[in-house]
Amino acid sequence: MRINGQHFETIWVDRNNKEKIKIIDQQKLPFRFEIKTLSTFDDAFSAIKDMTVRGAPLIGVTAAFGLYLAMLGKTNDEGVADYISSVCEKMKMARPTAINLAWAVNWVEKELRGVQSVEEARIISFKTAVKLKEMEVGYSNSIGEHGVRLIEEISKQKNGETVNILTHCNAGWLACIDWGTATSPVYKAHQKGIDVHVWVDETRPRNQGSKLTAYELAQEGVPHTVIPDNTGGHLMQHGMVDLVLVGSDRTTRTGDVCNKIGTYLKALAARDNNIPFYVALPSSSIDFELSDGIKEIPVEQRDDDEVRFADGKEGKTQLAPDGSPVANYGFDVTPSRLVTGLITELGICGASEGEIQRMFGK
Amino acid sequence: MRINGQHFETIWVDRNNKEKIKIIDQQKLPFRFEIKTLSTFDDAFSAIKDMTVRGAPLIGVTAAFGLYLAMLGKTNDEGVADYISSVCEKMKMARPTAINLAWAVNWVEKELRGVQSVEEARIISFKTAVKLKEMEVGYSNSIGEHGVRLIEEISKQKNGETVNILTHCNAGWLACIDWGTATSPVYKAHQKGIDVHVWVDETRPRNQGSKLTAYELAQEGVPHTVIPDNTGGHLMQHGMVDLVLVGSDRTTRTGDVCNKIGTYLKALAARDNNIPFYVALPSSSIDFELSDGIKEIPVEQRDDDEVRFADGKEGKTQLAPDGSPVANYGFDVTPSRLVTGLITELGICGASEGEIQRMFGK
């Protein structure tokens, strides 16, 4: 999508040097647009861990390129297999909740199975990372094509009046490679001339909504309004939301959705007000091993300071007094019973084991 | 309650000069404790409007003292009646949602009916303001005595294990004169030696939770943890909340509760997880004229900059980009069907027209 009118993806191979990976520094957005270079495994690991890149699909692709950088960093063929499994193991620890991370790493590891030389490992890991990236772009594009039909339908029902969509966190192209997941249907609708408006949850504590979703919607000219996370229920009670569209960091085979903390509260409000609640996700974020999201998905706890301070254009400002403990859970799980449907690259399906199975044949 | 070990109320008449009203500057908390002097009607009006004082009961008492200051400001008896009705009318505009403001102003106005001289108006308005203040302290104290029984019961059921209470915004003594509404049962429980812990919603956009509730709980030594507003649902899903206790800015005669934006989302989560959701309120905040909170209660929209920026110890920092519009609704309405009960100065009653009528005989 566009930044200052120019097309960008969130991660790419440097045109002049195949050994350098370029990313947009998402810690700096929306107030500074900076491109960062990843040259080593550690660069990629840190970029994931400190959220310079974030969003399930982008984390996966960054991890894959990070493994490629790890292969570049090894100078001889001794113990290649052990080296591969050790860097793969380490990469998975960068962030525990996003399933794409493990999924992408496992894929690269599988492709590297039996590899004897560093040279071969470099070629294969590079190819795999590039392929993963292309796949994610394709997924996002397809999610948009399927999801836009929901928006078109609401627009028709409203005789062309503005379709108001509420989203939480950033499941935009900045979380992916291009298009996004939850935003992809919105961009497609906007490009088709459908009158859409997005309510953007600011998404404390890290404000991915006000900092990233608002930024990318503004760059594409999509009408939107930033709101505190507390606001959605009130808007829904007053008929000001037609559709809730969010992303997912991990979805169980039964349709439970693990996403940014606070998603569950919006799902409850949508249900209470008969508003459709859809989750847009590539199938790469479905964890077919899990059947009970609330019990089985580990929810990472992040640094207290993200809550104690707000971090904006002018730097950090303290909100909670020193004497008060703070807790910072990264995600919550929305039970499938609250999810109207899943928008995937293969189409839209219900959030149930049966429908997911039918869609993905697993 | 205590600040740095010393007993304070949120508003008092200066010991050395009956014409000066003292308040705690709540805009500066928790990082600076400053006392401010109100000398004129405009001082009191601004203190309410800019939230130097906030919280339904405190707003009402400040308004009453503000009318007393207005009488001090009038130098002759000419047109006293018109003057009274004009300042009363103006004072009600300071903040539209809190019912206590209109209630307190109407009370003072009624007491001043027929008054011929400024001197008389001064005496009566002063007396009325002092009486209102004493009443609110009594209300808060009684709310605590009734509400603590709920906490005691949960503590017993848990064999003395920690009772975890979630609260939203600040319905503490800083919102009242002393004790608070939602916090009053907590302070009483803590003083009785019951093991309590409070999850404090930070309450964006103004952070009354992290700035005020956390501060006052810390000052009284009550164990607590500050959380982003997005967190409560996750905690409830995992059995980490035993009771939700919030305040109310206005309650309809049918038991709909208008409180800080985001309260409704916590009520939905409490219901979804079978957790009792109680609202603590003095009967002065019941609006017996209203039967449908969602339709009938006007919800104030506040300054965009409260959302666009976070305002903390080091000053403001910008969170949303300049190009993105922002919306800032102050309150939402929790329908009575989600409210387990109302804790009032007369006792605990169900959130229904019948039970409220029985309790208050109206």
Per-residue tokens: A115: 């590899």
Question: How sure is the predictor about B13, in pLDDT bands with cuts at 50, 70 and 90?
Answer: very high
Whether complex ipTM tops 0.90: yes
Task: Give the model's pLDDT for residue A79.
Answer: 95
| A300 pLDDT above the threshold of 90 | no
Task: Give the model's pLDDT for residue B100.
Answer: 84
Question: How sure is the predictor about A341, in pLDDT bands with cuts at 50, 70 and 90?
Answer: very high
Task: Give the model's pLDDT for residue A56.
Answer: 85
Cβ–Cβ under 8 Å, residues B277 and B265: no
**What are the start and end residues of each CATH 3.40.50.10470 domain in chain A?**
143-360
| B26 pLDDT above the threshold of 90 | yes
**What are the start and end residues of each CATH 1.20.120.420 domain in chain A?**
2-135
Residue of chain B with shortest Cα separation from A200: B326
Task: Give the model's pLDDT for residue B300.
Answer: 87
User: Is A292 annotated in the active site?
Assistant: no
Q: Which residues of B are part of the catalytic machinery?
A: 249
Cβ–Cβ under 8 Å, residues A260 and A212: no
**Cβ <8 Å between A294 and B324:** no
Q: Cβ–Cβ contacts within 10 Å for residue B181, how many?
A: 33
Tell me the Cα Rg of chain A.
20
Weakest-pLDDT range from A119-123, A281-285, B34-38, B260-264: A281-285
**B247: distance to nearest CA of chain A, Å?**
16
**Bridge partners, A105 (sequence order):** none
| B246 pLDDT above the threshold of 90 | yes
Helix (H) / strand (E) containing B244: strand B243-246
Q: Which chain A residues are Cβ-neighbours of B218 within 8 angstroms?
A: 321, 323-324
Task: Give the model's pLDDT for residue A259.
Answer: 96
**φ, ψ of residue B22 in degrees (nearest 5):** -105, 140
Task: Give the model's pLDDT for residue A127.
Answer: 98
User: What does the DSSP assignment read for A137-192?
Assistant: HHHHHHHHHHHHHHHHHHHHHTTTPPEEEEE-S--SGGGSSSS-STHHHHHHHHHT
**A198: distance to nearest CA of chain B, Å?**
11
**Cβ <8 Å between B233 and A264:** yes
Q: Which chain A residues are Cβ-neighbours of B328 within 8 angstroms?
A: 227-228
**Cβ <8 Å between B226 and A308:** yes
**A67: distance to nearest CA of chain B, Å?**
34
Q: Which chain B residues are Cβ-neighbours of A215 within 8 angstroms?
A: 321, 324
Pairs of CB atoms within 8 A across A/B: 230
| B179 pLDDT above the threshold of 90 | yes
Instruction: Please list, residue by residue across B274-284, b when 16 or more beta carbons sit within 10 angstroms of its beta carbon and e when fewer do.
Output: ebbbbbbbbbb
| B98 pLDDT above the threshold of 80 | no
Task: Give the model's pLDDT for residue B361.
Answer: 84
Is pTM beyond 0.90? Reply is yes
Q: Which chain A residues are Cβ-neighbours of B299 within 8 angstroms?
A: 234
Which tops the pLDDT comparison, B100 or A230?
A230
Task: Give the model's pLDDT for residue A23.
Answer: 98
**Cβ <8 Å between A204 and B204:** yes
Helix (H) / strand (E) containing B318: strand B315-318
Task: Give the model's pLDDT for residue A119.
Answer: 97
| B285 pLDDT above the threshold of 90 | no
Out of A204, A269, A325, closest to residue B225 by CB = A325
**Cβ <8 Å between A324 and B261:** no
Of B319, B328, B336, which to mutate for an interface test with A (greatest number of A Cβ within 10 Å)? B319
Task: Give the model's pLDDT for residue B304.
Answer: 96
CATH superfamily of the A2-135 domain: translation initiation factor eif-2b, domain 1 (1.20.120.420)
CA distances from B125 to B65, B86, B353 (A): 7, 15, 33
Cβ–Cβ under 8 Å, residues B261 and A234: yes
Residue of chain B with shortest Cα separation from A333: B234
Out of A207, A225, A313, closest to residue B326 by CB = A225
Mind listing the pLDDT tens digit for each residue in B321-346? 999 999 999 999 999 999 999 999 99
**Cβ <8 Å between A317 and B320:** no
Mind listing the pLDDT tens digit for each residue in B58-94? 999 999 999 999 999 999 999 999 999 999 999 999 9
Task: Give the model's pLDDT for residue A319.
Answer: 98
Nearest CA to B164 out of B241, B231, B217, B218 is that of B241
Of A3, A229, A230, which to mutate for an interface test with B (greatest number of B Cβ within 10 Å)? A230
Nearest CA to A63 out of A136, A3, A7 is that of A136
Mind listing the pLDDT tens digit for each residue in B127-176? 999 999 999 999 999 999 999 999 999 999 999 999 999 999 999 999 99
- CATH of A143-360 given 3.30.70.260, 3.40.50.10470, 2.60.120.370, 3.40.50.10420: 3.40.50.10470
Q: In what order do the strands lie in the sheet with A250-252?
A: A286-287, A250-252, A257-260, A331-334
Catalytic entry in A178, A249, A256, A332: A249
Amino acid in the structure at residue B170: N
Per-residue tokens: B78: 């000419």
